Every structure is written in C-alpha cells, then in structure tokens.
Amino acid sequence: MNLKVINHSLYVGSIEMTAVASSSVFQIGDTEQYSLYSMFDTPPESVVVGPIAPLGPPEDADEAEGESSVSLASNEAITVNR
Amino acid sequence: MNDYPVRVSHLGKINIISASSASIVQFGDRGEVNAKVQALAVQRQQRHSRRREMFFESYSVFSRPLPAIIEPTNEFTDVNMSVTNVQPRICVDSVGIIAVSSCGMIFVGNGLTSTSETRVKHIRQFSAALPLPPIGGQCPTSLPPSGL
C-alpha cells in the first residue's frame, strides 16, 4: 500500500492542557516512530463501588453525538448494603 | 508544489508548572528516546520507617513482557509512506501545561524513534484486618507485624 501525505500550513493559536502522564507524548514537529507502553495495577480497595455522588447529565447532553448512554437512569446513585 | 525535507517548529511561549518522574521536556531535534519508569505507589497506615522496604521483584507487573508489535510482512499490508511538506514550518503561538509526569514527554522539534514504558503498582497497606478475605482461604485477623 502506498500512503502519500501532503502537509500544508499548520498554524495553531493556543493549546491548554492539564496533564501529560504515563507514557503520553505532546509534540510540535514531525516524527517517524512511537512505541508507548503503560501498565497500571491498582488494588480493589482503591475502587469506590458505592454509594456514589448523584451526578446529573452534562450540559447539552441531548445534542451530544455518539453518546447513546447519556440518560438520567445511568447517572442514578447506586446504593450498596453492607 | 514546494517540498521541504524538514519542517521547523516555531513556538511563541510555553508555560509548564511541573515536570516529574522521568519526564522529558525538549526543545530541538532528537534521534532516539528510550524512557522507562517503574513506580511502587504505596499508601500505608503506619509510618514508612516502621515497615520494611518494598521490592519491585515481588510484583509481576514489573517483570511481565511487553506486548509484541507485529510488523507487516507481506506486500498487501506493507505501507510505503511518502511525505511532502508544502510549508517549511509549524507555528504554535502559546502552550500551557500544568503537569508532566511518569514518562510524559514534551517535544518541540523533529525526532526519529521514541520508546516509552511506564509500570505503576498501587498498594494500600492496612495494619488492621484485611478488608476482603482472600480467595479460597481463611481471613487472618491481622497482618503479621513486620511482613508485607
């Protein structure tokens, strides 16, 4: 397969980012090859199963494309009896 | 159509607050980068001076092999790529990044190959009874005084 790439003008105004972590890359420029690996092992105690804070759907959720799971039902709080 | 073999990056302003744990911030071209970090993130109920040291060898996440990248071998999956740069520059006015961590890499410039590997094992260590019984065994009432 032949892949032909033509790079035209690239002018960017402003980029704001919170974090670049765990084998992530932010680059301004060209490159040939990247191999990025990240392994993460977390104990089950650090995962909060419930009860969770009841969050409403995000703003303009009805107009979001490709987010079929956005509904009130999926954001209801889960109560776990111990 | 113009064809510049190398594009030059122009950056007006960059603002990075924190770069930690084997992170790279580089301005300029590079050949090869091989970054690797292993981390044991331990949260202990007791003070660290009263507990033993911990070892990477105890945990399988640090020794398991990396998944193999299978290179294409036949003529149908082999890719021949040709690049034409019409403009000789990439221009970015301003970049703002709060934190770079754990093999995170910020590059302004061109490069050839970059390989990066991060392995992090999180541990919560309680001095009281275990919160969950182990699978197929009895739940001990408390952890041994100096064991891990």
Q: How far is B15 from chain A (nearest CA, A)?
A: 10
Point out the residue among A13, A22, A31 whose CB comes nearest to the CB of B111.
A31
What percent helix, strand, coil does chain A show, rounded to 5? 10, 40, 50
* Residue pLDDT, tens place only, B45-69: 777 777 777 889 989 999 999 988 8
What the block records as the tokens of A21 is: 């972590």
What is the per-residue pLDDT across B74-116, written as a single tens digit (0 to 9) for each?
777 788 889 999 999 999 999 999 999 999 999 999 999 999 9
Q: Which of A14-23, A67-76, B137-146 has the highest mean pLDDT?
A: A14-23
- Measured CA to CA, the distance from residue B49 to residue B51 in angstroms comes to 6
Residues of B within 8 A of A18 (CB-CB) are 97-99
